[in-house]
Amino acid sequence: MSSPPSPARPGDLDARLAQNAEAIEALLETLLSAEPAAGELTRPARLVAAMRHGALGGGKRLRPFLTVETAGLFSVPAAQARRAGAAVELLHCYSLVHDDLPAMDDDDLRRGRPTVHKAFDEATAILAGDALLTLAFAVLAEQATHESGAVRAALVGALARASGCGGMVGGQMLDLAAEGRFEARREALPEAEIRRLQAMKTGALLAAAVEIGARLGGADAAALVALGRYGRALGATFQIADDILDVESDAGQMGKATAKDEGKGKATLVGALGLAGAKRERDRLSAEAVAALSGFGPAADVLRAAARFAAQRKS
């Protein structure tokens, strides 16, 4: 079995992010092959092309990075950790494809390229998202991800909870409601409700990426609690940083449209706390994530660096 990651040195985070992104990209290339997998009859060429457009060739792959690094704390073999991380990334990519649709956020640009519905068409984009979503669960359910059926079931359950009605999808519904999509919004959303919305829409999947790495490694109850605190705080940090970047960055930096939250009436902590207050809260949450790892020693230094990165990122 592989050994836990060595203590981080300056520059380790960038190097490990890059190495992980390269490995995950290669695995996604294989998973999104035009050749049918076992039990499949065929893979329609246009559908596969749209799935690949939505999943390949971009991003820091932060979510699978969190899965792989957390699994490394428990000496999980790299191949298994990457499969679990790739499943999380497939689900994340599905959410981006659907979020970009005209019925949702209506975006034309993602990672500096046309969104899937622009590069193909809306119907193909919907089906590509559906296919990425279901492939994520197929990858987790396969024995190559873990020899234990009970562990695989726990991984599937963690990803389903994070991405479903009480997680990411539910958070998206709350976000649309906060925009006034279904009835006129009479007043600004309270801060507590904004936090809940963001914890579901963005934070739940980031926290699940950490949880899946821990469950893959057989983490005990105490470790799961601590890593849960880390994942939730990191997820909240990431979302506030994203809201701040929407105000301060441009499309060239972000690879997608910016300055759109206020125009769409989106509920954000920048709106609730002001820009300076949001930055203070972002930094507080990043510190909270770092503190949650106090029991893991130097082996968790890269995860600590990831929490700081979530607050300081520029894209």
Query: Please, what CATH class does the domain formed by 12-312 belong to?
Result: mainly alpha
Whether 240 contacts 248, CB under 8 Å:
no
Query: Who contacts 206 (Cβ-Cβ below 8 Å, separation ≥6)?
Result: 62, 63, 66, 231, 234, 235, 238
pLDDT for 263: 52
Which residue is it, tokens 């539910």? 170
SS3 label, residue 84:
helix
pTM: 0.91
Q: What is the mean pLDDT of residues 293-304?
A: 96
Look over the chain and give the mean of its residue pLDDT values, rounded to a whole number: 91
Residue spans per domain, the chain: 12-312
Neighbour tally for 123: CB within 10 Å: 10
Could you report the per-residue pLDDT of 90-125, keeping only the tens digit for each? 999 999 999 999 999 999 999 889 999 999 999 999
DSSP code of residue 83 = H
Could you report the per-residue pLDDT of 196-241, keeping only the tens digit for each? 999 999 999 999 999 999 999 999 999 999 999 999 999 999 999 9
